[in-house]
């Protein structure tokens, strides 16, 4: 991503800012965000802000719990100001055309639209969900889905697409459910192979294979994640429903 100034003399001297969409980042860095960032870097200069997190790299252990709490509070203040500023950011030009269509999809599914991305957030049958565009190539966006399961007893489940022989498979630690199409499509992990096999019912396997035929899917105890989904609601919405069917089939 290209480097660019954000138009603040103090911050431009001490920070490098990179983004695929500079105009949107400059909108994001409003007065409150800049003030919170200046407060943080005054005492902790090694700050990294990404799409997903605020991080601070400590050069040495903090001398007291009070100073550590001050760091946490300053990081929270920056995170909060970023969260509040983002709702006023306009979507990138290449995404603006999706806002109305995603808004209609949000209304149908009972989710909230965040038009600045655009993104859908909320819950489906008591499960938190987030759907947002991800830049996969220069100027090309695909949708990214995260669905978080309801609380349940964890079984160490991990399922991900098998694109090459798994390092553990040769020593028998990749669980086989005795359905060749499914076993060939996924690497399957878990604490107890009997519990995993019982959990992966026919309906769950069917939905996993259906999604995996179109986009890579990963499933863990706490939720599932699907990347590279189509942006078109006509194609995306049925895949979200399939993801919900997986959660229902698991009973999570």
- Full-prediction pTM beyond 0.95? no
The tokens describing 224, both together, are 């599932």
Distance CA 19, CA 26 (A): 10
Q: Which helix (H) or strand (E) holds 132?
A: strand 127-137
Q: pLDDT tens for residues 149-162?
A: 999 999 999 999 98
In the chain, where are the structural domains located? 9-86, 95-250
Nearest to 177, CA basis, from 205, 218, 216: 205
The tokens describing 120, both together, are 């859908």
Task: Tell me the pairing of strands 223-229 and 186-189.
Answer: unpaired
CATH match for 95-250 among 3.40.50, 2.60.120, 3.30.1460, 1.10.287: 3.30.1460
Q: How distant, in Å, are the alpha carbons of 104, 128, 137, 223, 233 from that of 119?
A: 12, 14, 19, 19, 12
Q: How distant, in Å, are the alpha carbons of 114, 184, 194, 218 from that of 212?
A: 27, 12, 23, 9
Distance CA 163, CA 169 (A): 13
The tokens describing 127, both together, are 């499960």
Q: pLDDT tens for residues 160-205?
A: 998 765 554 434 458 999 999 999 999 999 999 999 999 999 999 9
* pLDDT score at 127: 98
Residues 6 or more apart from 213 whose CB is under 8 A from it? none
* pLDDT score at 169: 45
């Amino acid at each position: 991503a290209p480097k660019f100034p954000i138009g603040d003399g103090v911050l431009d001297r001490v920070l490098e800012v990179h983004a695929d969409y500079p105009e949107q980042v400059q909108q994001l860095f409003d007065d409150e965000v800049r003030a919170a960032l200046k407060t943080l870097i005054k005492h902790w200069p090694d700050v990294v802000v990404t799409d997903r997190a605020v991080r601070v790299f400590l050069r040495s252990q903090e001398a007291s719990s009070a100073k550590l709490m001050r760091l946490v509070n300053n990081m929270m203040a920056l995170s909060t100001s970023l969260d509040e500023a983002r709702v006023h950011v306009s979507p990138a030009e290449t995404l603006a055309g999706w806002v109305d269509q995603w808004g209609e999809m949000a209304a149908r599914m009972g989710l909230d639209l965040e038009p600045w991305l655009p993104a859908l957030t909320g819950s489906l049958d008591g499960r938190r969900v987030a759907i947002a565009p991800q830049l996969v190539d220069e100027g090309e966006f695909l949708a990214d889905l995260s669905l978080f399961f309801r609380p349940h007893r964890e079984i160490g489940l991990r399922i991900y697409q098998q694109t090459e022989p798994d390092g553990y498979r040769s020593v028998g630690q990749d669980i086989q459910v005795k359905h060749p199409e499914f076993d060939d499509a996924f690497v399957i992990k878990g604490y107890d192979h009997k519990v995993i096999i019982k959990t992966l019912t026919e309906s769950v396997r069917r939905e996993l294979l259906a999604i995996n035929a179109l986009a890579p899917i990963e499933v863990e105890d706490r939720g599932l994640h699907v990347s590279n989904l189509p942006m078109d609601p006509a194609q995306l919405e049925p895949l979200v429903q399939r993801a919900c069917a997986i959660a229902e089939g698991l009973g999570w």
